[in-house]
Amino acid sequence: MFKNLCNEEKIYKNLYNGEWVESSTNKLIEVKSPVDGQLIGKIQAVSKEEVDKAIANTKEAGKAWAKTPMYERTKILNKVAELLDARCEEIADILVAEIGKDKRSSVSEVKRTADYIRFTANLGESLEGESLSGDRFPGGSKKKLCLVERVPLGTVLAIAPFNYPVNLAASKIAPALIGGNTVLLKPPSQGAISGLYLAAVFNEAGLPKGVLNTITGKGSEIGDYVVTHPGIDFINFTGSSDVGQHITEISSKTPLMLELGGKDAAIVLEDADLENVAEDIVLGAYSYSGQRCTAVKRILATNEVADKLVPMLKEKIEALKVGNPNEDVTIVPLIDDKSADFVQGLIDDAMEKGATLVTGNKREKNLIYPTLFDNVTVDMRIAWEEPFGPVLPIIRVKDVDEAIDIANRSEYGLQSSVFTKDINKAFYIAKQLEVGVVQINNKPERGPDHFPFLGVKASGMGTQGIGYSIEAMTRHKVIVMNLDI
């Protein structure tokens, strides 16, 4: 346990100017485990005045941090990575209890985060600007020398989601810090304790006071206030498309990076290795019960392919282990009852409209068993809506062009997969898909984390990926020297 992060009654505090502080509101939010409803701890509901204070403090700290040599920034980040590795089990156990992620995936989230931060530090060491000579342009001269460097934007607001409260907080914080920014972290209420542990690691690694502050509280109470705060210079948000859209509308001139929802399609062609495809799709659709923006959320295939694929999928889905995330399972209880009700609503709608239930449609409170529907038609909600749960529809198409058409009719545009051995067909499809990333012969996924990751349409704005994130959270600064030579 990190010193002062919480008291004996498990009341967690916020990081402010290097210290763990309680809110003067005396308002607390209970965090209960999605696994068994047990109270894990309480977090502070901060006031708007405390948001002001936290931002003002990052501004003050930012003056020195922007001037801190890169080798010192990278040293601190490397220390964070080292501490995360050392505290991996402890933080993974918090993830299991707080967001119900299975233990293996929780450990992997923490280790991936350590690797992400290390990679960011290494990249920081080799970040350079450039110089341009004026004589390249007609009429110019060598007397003009242009120096281009990247400078910080100021205070970055990092808003992380419940499904990766450590990794998707760190993937905002680390590139922002390397770029010389300070950060205000707003973790999700369910996932806040995991996020505060991460902040504690940064603090313990020796990050100067105020370079990273945290605020916890209900989005409905402080969300709009912080997002429209004049002290915020960049908003880096991961969450639902609805909230992302709302932020776009209210944030006016503040630059944004948004990672939102998806309805990633897997288009499977006749010549694909169906046994491998089935394995990949099941992993892609059902890991962490489908609570990932890059989960496979629909299969588009012809009758010929679907007839062969369905029994393979059924066998693998029914072999998935279901239950307590402390054990070696894939299917875990969803984050809350409301999410489970929403997923059940999609299942009920598909059943009423005549989809073929291949397996599933079983529920115990917020635990939804893995469900597969065949013969889903475009009038069904599950054809278009993102379940963020373990439900996968198969939409049968007449040919590749219909698959592309249905894929593109989605409001979302995160990733899509194309499974085929024919590289020409793969490119024919990939070029037409309106998404940020197309995976050929693999499930959708964000990593490796230095690859560019982006969504179009309702799936996001801006490009993430370690180098790309540093670039997004810095700007050019140009100094032109007019020499007398």
- List, by residue number, the catalytic residues: 259
Q: Which of 12, 164, 373, 468 binds ligand G3P (CB under 6 A)?
A: 164
Rounded to the nearest whole angstrom, what is the least distance from the CB of residue 164 to ligand G3P in the complex? 6
Q: Which of 294, 375, 417, 439 binds ligand G3P (CB under 6 A)?
A: 294
d(CA 428, CA 291): 30
Rounded to the nearest whole angstrom, what is the least distance from the CB of residue 290 to ligand G3P in the complex? 10
Rounded to the nearest whole angstrom, what is the least distance from the CB of residue 26 to ligand G3P in the complex? 34
Q: How far apart are the first and last CA of the chain?
A: 63
User: 230: how many CB neighbours lie within 10 A of its CB?
Assistant: 8
Q: What are phi and psi of 358, to 5 degrees?
A: -85, -40
Closest alpha carbon to 98 in 44, 45, 46, 43: 43
Continuous segment of H or E residues that includes residue 186: strand 182-186
Q: Which of 101, 172, 229, 446 binds ligand G3P (CB under 6 A)?
A: 446
Among residues 242 and 271, whose Cβ is nearest to ligand G3P?
242
d(CA 153, CA 475): 7
Each residue 296-335 as x (binds ligand G3P by CB under 6 A) or -, in order, gives ----------------------------------------
Among residues 152 and 290, whose Cβ is nearest to ligand G3P?
290
- Is the peptide bond between 448 and the residue preceding it cis, with omega within 30 degrees of 0? yes
Stretch that binds ligand G3P, among 59-67, 182-190, 393-401, 442-450 (CB under 6 A): 442-450
Rounded to the nearest whole angstrom, what is the least distance from the CB of residue 214 to ligand G3P in the complex? 21
Closest alpha carbon to 94 in 202, 197, 199, 201: 197
d(CA 173, CA 94): 20
Closest residue to ligand G3P in the complex (CB): 293
Helices 88-99 and 192-204: angle between axes, nearest 10 degrees:
160
Residue 374 makes contact with ligand G3P by CB under 6 A: no
Among residues 396 and 446, whose Cβ is nearest to ligand G3P?
446
- DSSP class of residue 288? G
Residue 448 makes contact with ligand G3P by CB under 6 A: no
Residue 293 makes contact with ligand G3P by CB under 6 A: yes
Among residues 13 and 443, whose Cβ is nearest to ligand G3P?
443
Residue 445 makes contact with ligand G3P by CB under 6 A: yes
Query: β-strands 155-159, 234-238: how paired?
Result: parallel
Rounded to the nearest whole angstrom, what is the least distance from the CB of residue 398 to ligand G3P in the complex? 31
Rounded to the nearest whole angstrom, what is the least distance from the CB of residue 459 to ligand G3P in the complex? 11
DSSP for 416-480, written as a single string: EEEE-S-HHHHHHHHHH--SSEEEESS-----STTS-B--EETTEES-BSHHHHHHHTEEEEEEE
Q: Which of 163, 182, 339, 371 binds ligand G3P (CB under 6 A)?
A: 163
Stretch that binds ligand G3P, among 84-92, 247-255, 292-300, 315-323 (CB under 6 A): 292-300
Q: Are 12 and 196 in contact (CB under 8 A)?
A: yes
288: left (phi over 0), alpha (psi -120 to 50) or beta: left
Size of the site for ligand G3P (CB under 6 A): 8
- DSSP class of residue 5? S
Rounded to the nearest whole angstrom, what is the least distance from the CB of residue 163 to ligand G3P in the complex? 5
Rounded to the nearest whole angstrom, what is the least distance from the CB of residue 288 to ligand G3P in the complex? 8
Among residues 121 and 293, whose Cβ is nearest to ligand G3P?
293
Stretch that binds ligand G3P, among 275-283, 289-297, 330-338, 468-476 (CB under 6 A): 289-297
User: 248: how many CB neighbours lie within 10 A of its CB?
Assistant: 15
Among residues 6 and 260, whose Cβ is nearest to ligand G3P?
260
Q: Which residues contact 68 (CB under 8 A, 6 or more apart)?
A: 180, 208
Rounded to the nearest whole angstrom, what is the least distance from the CB of residue 23 to ligand G3P in the complex? 29
Question: Six-digit token pair at 55?
Answer: 């931002």
Stretch that binds ligand G3P, among 137-145, 270-278, 400-408, 444-452 (CB under 6 A): 444-452
- DSSP class of residue 147? E
Among residues 113 and 181, whose Cβ is nearest to ligand G3P?
113
Instruction: List Cα–Cα distances, 459 to 15, 171, 305, 436, in angstroms.
Output: 31, 18, 29, 9
Among residues 114 and 355, whose Cβ is nearest to ligand G3P?
114
Among residues 51 and 296, whose Cβ is nearest to ligand G3P?
296
Tell me, rounded to whole angstroms, the distance of Cα 64 from its chain centroid: 30
Residue type, 41: G
Helix (H, G, I), strand (E, B) or coil at 469: helix
Residue 447 makes contact with ligand G3P by CB under 6 A: yes
Q: Which residues bind ligand G3P (CB under 6 A)?
A: 163-164, 292-294, 445-447
